[in-house]
Amino acid sequence: MKAMYLANYFVAGCIASSLLGWIASLHPMAFRAIAFLLAAVGIIWSIAWLLDYSLSQFLKISIQQLQALLISVLAVLIVGLGVYLCS
Amino acid sequence: MLLKLIVLSSASLTLWLAPLVGLDKKVGWHKSVQGLSLGAAIACAVSAGNIARKLADENEIDELKTRAIKADVVDEIGVSVYVSQQQRQQEAELILTSPGLDVEENRKALEAIYSNDLQDTASASEHPDYPIYLEIRKSREAGKSPTWIVENVLKMGGRKFSEGKAKLQDLLNQFEGEDND
């Protein structure tokens, strides 16, 4: 059941990133905003990888859990935007 | 609950993929439908995730309860086994340490006391002077005087009269005292 709930949240993340792609396709300004948002997410994601030890202590989770979270965020963005762009 | 979860999960996947694949992005209302569908798909996926999380928590609590009950049962069995073992050990120790010799000695002592009592009881009737005492008693009951008893029962008349009177008194003291006891 735990796998089911994780899969559902993963799918929700994928759909959310597809929605971001859809919003980006509405207007050039929206595209810029989404691009800025994605760039910010990318920077935060990279910093999180660099500061994984201190961040795991701050969030009170193990490093493995933090790394799994960061990888799943990347996978969510790739899958969601990939589905939107390829459709 | 599980059925709801499955329906919501499949609905979220359908609402996510079907409009993106089936509708044209260049058509205005198609695009609007895609946006709405993606929003609904997110709602379905989040709902399904929440339900699945709740079920997972409930399962985890049930597992914990089961583990606690099992541990409790195992603990109870262990305690009862330990207690019964201790009891058996204590009983065995009591049997081993209880003085069997004492019991035997007590039995012998009781036996000896009992046999002494019997001997004491028997000694009164088996005394050699007892038949004489019985005759004296019969004579007294018949109303005979002590002088008559000394002369006729004890056969101690004449010079032995004083000796006979003393013997009569001794016999009376001896047997009547025992009778009173």
Residue B68 is part of which domain span?
2-96
Of residues B119 and B3, more confidence is placed in B3
Residue A20 confidence (pLDDT): 92
Flag whether B163 is in a domain.
yes
From B5-14, B113-122, B129-138, the region with the lowest mean pLDDT: B113-122
Mean pLDDT of B122-133: 72
Pair B133, B48 in one domain: no
Is the domain of B83 the same as that of B159?
no
Q: Per residue in A17-60, pLDDT tens?
A: 999 999 998 889 999 999 999 999 999 999 999 998 898 888 88
The answer to whether residues B74 and B152 belong to one domain is: no
Q: DSSP for A24-87, please give it.
A: HTT-HHHHHHHHHHHHHHHHHHHHHHHTHHHHHHHHT--HHHHHHHHHHHHHHHHHHHHHHHH-
| Chain B contact present for A29, CB below 8 A | no
pLDDT in tens, B75-110: 989 988 888 888 888 877 777 776 655 666 666 766
Q: How is residue B98 annotated by DSSP?
A: S
- Of B77, B96, B115, the domain-final residue: B96
Asked if B13 and B83 sit in the same domain, the reply is: yes
Query: Please, which contacts does B134-137 make with residues 24 or more away whose CB atoms are closer than 8 Å?
Result: B136/B168, B136/B171, B136/B172
* pTM for the model: 0.58
Please indicate, yes or no, if residue B104 is contained in any of the structural domains: no
The Cα of A74 is separated from the nearest Cα of chain B by a number of Å equal to: 18
The pLDDT-based confidence of B69 (bands split at 50, 70, 90) is very high
Specify the number of domains making up chain B: 2
Closest CA in chain B for residue A6: B49
Contacts A–B by Cβ distance under 8 A: 68
Lowest mean pLDDT among A21-25, B15-19, B154-158: B154-158
B134 with B85, same domain: the answer is no
- Asked if the Cβ–Cβ distance from B31 to A25 is below 8 Å, we say yes
Domain presence at residue B153: yes
Contact (Cβ atoms closer than 8 angstroms) between residue A3 and residue B55: no
Is residue B7 in a domain? Answer: yes
Q: What is the ipTM of this complex?
A: 0.83
- Contact of A54 with chain B, judged by CB distance below 8 Å, is answered with no
B107 part of a folded domain:
no
**Nearest chain B CA: its distance from A43 CA (Å):** 25
* B23 and B88 together in one domain: yes
Mean residue pLDDT of chain B comes to 82
Under the banding of pLDDT at 50, 70 and 90, the label for residue B160 is: confident
Name the domain boundary from B96, B111, B134.
Answer: B96
B127 and B81 belong to one structural domain: no
Between B104 and B180, where is the model more confident? B104
Quote the pLDDT of residue B111: 73
